[in-house]
């Protein structure tokens, strides 16, 4: 059987490798039978693993254990927060119809918000951002001052998953508290990479996904304050404070807790390492003068996630760049979303004021602590050839000639 081609993995913002501590915790839990809701010895043993993991997660995120609601991943946590809080608030007061989100949210927030507008009588309000992707607090402040009584919920992400810009979440939460409006944050890109303290933030709810910090895919959590009403999306067994029914994935939660514990305890060490690699990678990507760095890193404004480098290349299509790099053994992600086989410019980049052509010529490279100098060197060795070929393909495409299948 042929040995798989070794690759340079620079798509850690999509999913990280499972850390050994998480794999060990999951294997230990998998070896034991028992449902955490059962009353016999095996059930109590599973319950103990679940609750000790919940306590560990809460400790690492500045929350109370009872505030950690286990979910099947980040998308479920975002949906539960948006739909659940909206429904509860609307039930309390029918005037609360507005769902306020930033223009750069992940689709796991934007899509349920749009669903609420289409199917549940909500009015969707999208907050603009500046050129770095930072939400406009002045617009939110004016909205709340004018009509806070009609706002059901606000959702602003902790950090952007595409360009890495860190949002002013504590200021957003403070505005929500001032006007009596619950604030949710999708912190999925941030947890494990920058300091995140749920209690100190003032948030009402916050979403987490394990696979973004070395844990398993398919498990996450919604941190939900005890005083925030949230209508469940799933009904059946009354699990998780009766907010999320369903038998808990005990091995998955154990893996999430172990991965988070390691990520938080070694965050300073890993951050220093990743920033050094990031700065070198930026130098490599921009050396020819044909690329620009996007987000807070590119504008010098605010903070950014340490491991994300988002770059636009003049005269290139992002999907061509992606496939050409992949052929050279370098894995990253495109700054565009592919819908029904047609590349579309990223909504994040368009919201930041970027034109469609530039937005479609963008890539995201995302680093983790297990990357090294050799990975950056690998990019340096191929980036000139790749961009030249991508530009040539773009030129041929514009002239009407075949593009040679790079797309």
**Which amino acids are annotated catalytic?**
338
Paired tokens of 333: 């992600």
Paired tokens of 27: 């294997």
Return the exposure string of 47-72: e unless at least 16 CB atoms fall within 10 Å of the residue's CB, then b: bebbeebbebbbebbbbeeebbbbbb
Chain position carrying tokens 């990507």: 285
Do 335 and 364 contact (CB within 8 A), yes or no? yes
Query: What residues are paired with 267 via a beta bridge?
Result: none
CA-CA distance, 333 to 162, in Å (whole number)?
A: 9
CA-CA distance, 99 to 86, in Å (whole number)?
A: 8
Decide: helix, strand or coil at residue 392.
helix
Reported as type and span, the H/E element at residue 276 is helix 267-286
Q: How many Cβ atoms from other residues are within 10 Å of residue 32's Cβ?
A: 12
Query: What residues are paired with 129 via a beta bridge?
Result: 135
Query: Cα separations (Å) of 365 from 308, 309, 323?
Result: 6, 5, 14
Paired tokens of 199: 């209690």
CA-CA distance, 165 to 191, in Å (whole number)?
A: 14
């Amino acid at each position: 059987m042929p040995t798989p081609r070794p690759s340079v993995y620079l798509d850690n913002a999509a999913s990280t490798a499972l850390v050994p501590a998480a794999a060990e915790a999951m294997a230990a839990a998998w070896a034991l039978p028992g449902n955490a809701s059962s009353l016999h010895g095996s059930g109590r043993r599973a319950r103990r693993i679940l609750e000790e993991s919940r306590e560990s997660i809460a400790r690492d995120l500045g929350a109370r254990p009872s505030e950690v609601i286990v979910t099947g991943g980040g998308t479920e946590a975002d949906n539960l927060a948006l739909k659940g809080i909206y429904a509860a608030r609307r039930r309390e007061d029918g005037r609360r119809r507005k769902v306020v989100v930033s223009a750069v949210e992940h689709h796991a927030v934007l899509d349920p918000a749009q669903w609420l507008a289409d199917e549940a009588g909500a009015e969707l309000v999208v907050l603009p951002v500046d050129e770095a992707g930072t939400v406009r607090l002045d617009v939110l402040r004016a909205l709340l001052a004018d009509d806070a009584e009609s706002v059901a919920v606000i959702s602003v992400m902790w950090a952007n998953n595409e360009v890495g810009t860190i949002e002013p979440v504590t200021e957003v939460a403070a505005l929500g508290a001032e006007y009596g409006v619950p604030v949710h944050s999708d912190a999925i890109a941030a947890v494990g990479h920058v300091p995140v303290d749920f209690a100190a933030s003032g948030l009402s709810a916050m979403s987490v996904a394990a696979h973004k910090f070395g844990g398993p895919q398919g498990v996450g959590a919604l941190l939900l304050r005890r005083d925030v009403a949230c209508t469940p999306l799933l009904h059946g067994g009354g699990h998780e404070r009766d907010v999320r029914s369903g038998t808990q994935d005990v091995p998955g939660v154990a893996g999430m807790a172990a991965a988070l514990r390691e990520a938080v305890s070694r965050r300073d060490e890993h951050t220093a390492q990743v920033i050094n690699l990031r700065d070198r990678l930026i130098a490599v990507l921009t050396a020819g003068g044909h690329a620009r760095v996007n987000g807070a890193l590119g504008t010098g404004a605010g903070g950014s996630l340490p491991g994300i480098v988002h770059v636009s290349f003049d005269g290139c299509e992002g999907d061509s760049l992606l496939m050409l790099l992949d052929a050279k053994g370098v894995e990253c992600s495109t700054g565009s979303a592919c819908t029904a086989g047609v590349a579309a410019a990223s909504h994040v980049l368009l919201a930041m004021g970027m034109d469609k052509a530039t937005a479609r010529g963008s890539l995201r490279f995302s680093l983790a602590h297990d990357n090294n100098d050799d990975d950056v060197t690998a990019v340096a060795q191929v980036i000139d050839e790749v961009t030249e070929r991508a530009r040539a393909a773009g030129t041929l495409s514009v002239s009407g000639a075949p593009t040679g299948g790079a797309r």
